Structure 1
Amino acid sequence: MEIRFQRILLATSLSLLISIGIITPAKADQSVDFVLFNEDATNDASGNNTSLNESNADVDVDVDRRTVLEDILDNENFELGIQFGLMSIEDFETNGWVSAHFAYHITEFFYAKARYGQSDAGQTSFEKLVNVPPLLTDEQRKLRYYGLNIGYNLMPGEVFLGRDFALNSVFSIELGGGTTEFAGDEKFTVNLTANYRIFLTDWLTWDIAMSDYIFDTSITGEHKTSHNLNFTTGFAFYF
């Protein structure tokens, strides 16, 4: 009786294991034996059991590796440029302007720039309205500036010319000081400049700048601080 009970319990357990897939029956010609389900076992296309470990054997993959050459970074830290534009000399009209600069790029962001520029002042409103002798001689009307600026590259970026063509660019600000020779006198001058550069090549840039030359003057009889705005464009060479 006890043996019969054990057989019934064994048959019930096997049926339950088969139903939940823990064990699988053998082929039809092996009606007695059962095969335990192995997680590493799979059936191949012919129906034979194969092991996942065998299917995951090392496979030699022949990959063609391409040679990548790192870009050679340019180390041109010196800059030489020339600009042309207009300068609005306070009380003396807007006149032509030409300047040149020499810069040294200290780091990726900071640079020092020596600048020289000149312009010829026009006539004042008083000279135009009243028939009086000129306030200044031709030589005194020549404005010359030379000074030193410290610049900071604020926003490096790109300029897109079409869908597939772009040029590097950078927006920078400058602060400096120097001397302005004008009306037979030398005046200490503060210079504020906003500069936008587009890199046509790694050694040539197109520059666009807006500057303010600030100095004290009393040429017209009133002592005041004059703001002389300057707009320029030109090219700079790196070496």
Structure 2
Amino acid sequence: MATSGASAQTNTAPPENPGQVIVPQVERRDVRLPTFASRDISLGLFTGTYATQNFGTSSVSGLRLGYHVTEDIFVEATYASTKVSDEDFRQIFPNGGIFPTPTQRLTYYNVVAGYNVLPGEVFFGRRHAKLSQGYLLAGVGSTDFAGQKRQTITAGFGLRVLFTDWFAVQADVRDHIYSLDLLGKRRNTNNLEVTAGLTVYF
């Protein structure tokens, strides 16, 4: 038994040589990242409705030029125009309305600062999503209406949906606050504007 055990130990094969470990030599390469335009400037057209206090709602259209300071902060200049009718007053006063003509043009411009408070995505179906930005804004400007030029405070909110890195659709709700003296007494008016428009970035 002892002889058999010794023979078994003698016949045991030695462990295999693991061989030489090969360490690959990888050459370092300089990778050039692609460069993209910053696209900080935006230009947009919009249309919608403008509710002039005491005179009803009319269509409005205008132009916006913006500059995006950071990803979340932007400034924007706006110019827009609408026609306001005093038809309701002419029905009450047969001898004439508030304006010398049935309609008066209202134009305004302002500069606002905005902040993106709700960055996210808007889904179109189950497979398609686009980046979106919900924002708040406020600023000052001037309104020219019925021969009166009034300093205007503008505040509101909006939603911007980016379909590409250079094209977006946005919707805004803004209140234009200024004083008027058309009905025999000067008072502050709130004039609500609801618009939608197209914006390009470059």
The TM-score range, normalised by the shorter chain, is 0.7 to 0.9
How do 1:101-180 residues align onto structure 2 when only pairs under 5 Å count? 101-123=64-86, 125-138=88-101, 141-180=104-143
TM-aligned CA deviation for residue 176 of structure 1: 0.6
> Residues 69 and 139 (structure 1 numbering): CA distance in 2 closer, same or farther, change over 3 Å?
farther
Q: 156, 160, 163: which one pairs with 1:200?
A: 163
Contact 1:187 1:216 in 2 (8 A): yes
Unaligned runs of 5+ in 1: 1-25, 34-46, 62-67
The runs of at least 4 consecutive aligned structure 1 residues that moved more than 6 Å come to none
Q: Percentage identity across aligned positions?
A: 26
Contact 2:86 2:103 in 1 (8 A): no
2:5 is equivalent to residue 29 of structure 1: yes
TM-aligned CA deviation for residue 227 of structure 1: 0.5
| C-alpha distance in structure 1 between counterparts of 2:32 and 2:4, whole Å | 64
Aligned residue type for 1:195: G
Superposition TM-score, scaled by structure 1 size: 0.71
Contact 1:171 1:195 in 2 (8 A): yes
Aligned residue type for 1:98: S
CA RMSD, Structure 1 to Structure 2 (Å): 3.0
1:121-162 superposed Cα distances (whole Å, 9 cap, x missing partner): 122643322313121134971110011111112221111112
Unaligned runs of 5+ in 2: 25-30
> Residues 30 and 89 (structure 1 numbering): CA distance in 2 closer, same or farther, change over 3 Å?
same
Q: Comparing both chains, which one has the higher relative contact order based on Cα–Cα distances under 8 Å and sequence gaps of 6 or more?
A: 2
Matched pairs, number: 194
2:164 is equivalent to residue 188 of structure 1: no
Superposition TM-score, scaled by structure 2 size: 0.83
> Residues 220 and 124 (structure 1 numbering): CA distance in 2 closer, same or farther, change over 3 Å?
farther
Contact 2:75 2:111 in 1 (8 A): yes
> Residues 98 and 151 (structure 1 numbering): CA distance in 2 closer, same or farther, change over 3 Å?
same
Per the alignment, in what secondary structure is the counterpart of residue 175 of structure 2? Answer: strand
Report the structure, 1 or 2, having the larger strand content: 2
